[in-house]
Amino acid sequence: MPSIFAYQSSEVDWCESNFQHSELVAEFYNTFSNVTFFIFGPLMMFLMYPYAQKRSRCIYITWILFMVIGLFSMYFHMTLSLLGQLLDEIAILWLLASSYSIWMPRCYFPTFLGENRPRFTCLVLITTVVSTFLSFLRPVINAYALNSIAVHILYIVFQEYKKTNNEELRHIMEVSVVLWAFALTSWISDRVLCSFWQWINFFYLHSIWHVLISITFPYGMVTMALVDARYEMPGHTLKVRYWPRDTWPVGLPYVEVSDDKNC
């Protein structure tokens, strides 16, 4: 059995041809497409700073984990090592866990917890620790298990979409779901239709997944912040802004927080 540190010790191999551009980098484009995580991570930390001060400084943990995912994903695609795969997937798992702990609306908590967020956070922590150890048993299925969590997130988004008449919230939900759908399509196509993409000499779908999912997370975060504010920040109004300008057709979303004033 090869060492978990060894190049190509992972059972997972993507469609991009290996070592085409460097003897040190297994998948060149899949490796360097992760640069978007290091651009959007610090930028969103800066843009969401006022919101984090009002809501919870734990939000910074999600953006740190977001950048850690980019780092570990680069390492994985550079080496295709089992260690790189596990680090990448475990970082994604903990990012999802931290997001659940912060933004999951209390009305979706298990009934035996009531609406107690500290207890819910403990449950998420225990589940994540157990899942972390389980990820070592069958690493080849980890990515599919992580993507399946999106089904629950989509359920919550759908339920909240039906509840709200806020056009701004509905719009950002729609954009988030469309971005995620395009990203997932790229991921699945790279896995399932690899022979076709190799036939037409197009190896970049997993790279496109990296870029799209790194854009989807900021949209998803803003979506959950707006939903969460209805339950956790009744004295504040959240307004969606876009960097670099609101008037541009494409931008990175963030929220601006203002206090409600009673006359």
Give the residue numbers of the binding site for Zn(2+).
77, 206, 210
* Cβ atoms 93, 129 nearer than 8 A: no
* List of E strands, 100-235: none
User: String of b and e for 252-262 (b: at least 16 CB within 10 Å)?
Assistant: bbbbebeeeee
* Cβ atoms 227, 161 nearer than 8 A: no
Backbone angles phi, psi at 236, to 5 degrees: -130, 155
Nearest to 222 by CA among 97, 51, 107: 51
Give binding residues as ranges: 13-14, 16, 18, 27, 77, 206, 210
Give the DSSP H or E segment for 259. strand 252-259
Other beta carbons within 10 Å of 215: 21
Rounded to an integer, what distance in angstroms lies between the CA atom of residue 233 and that of residue 103? 12
Rounded to an integer, what distance in angstroms lies between the CA atom of residue 193 and that of residue 92? 25
Place of tokens 């080496």: 79
Structure-block tokens of residue 142: 């980890």
Rounded to an integer, what distance in angstroms lies between the CA atom of residue 245 and that of residue 243? 5
Distance set, CA 143 to CA 42, 89, 245 (Å): 26, 7, 35
Give binding residues for Ca(2+) as ranges: 13-14, 16, 18, 27
Residues 6 or more apart whose Cβ sits within 8 Å of residue 81: 4, 5, 6, 7, 8, 9, 10, 75
Rounded to an integer, what distance in angstroms lies between the CA atom of residue 245 and that of residue 224? 22
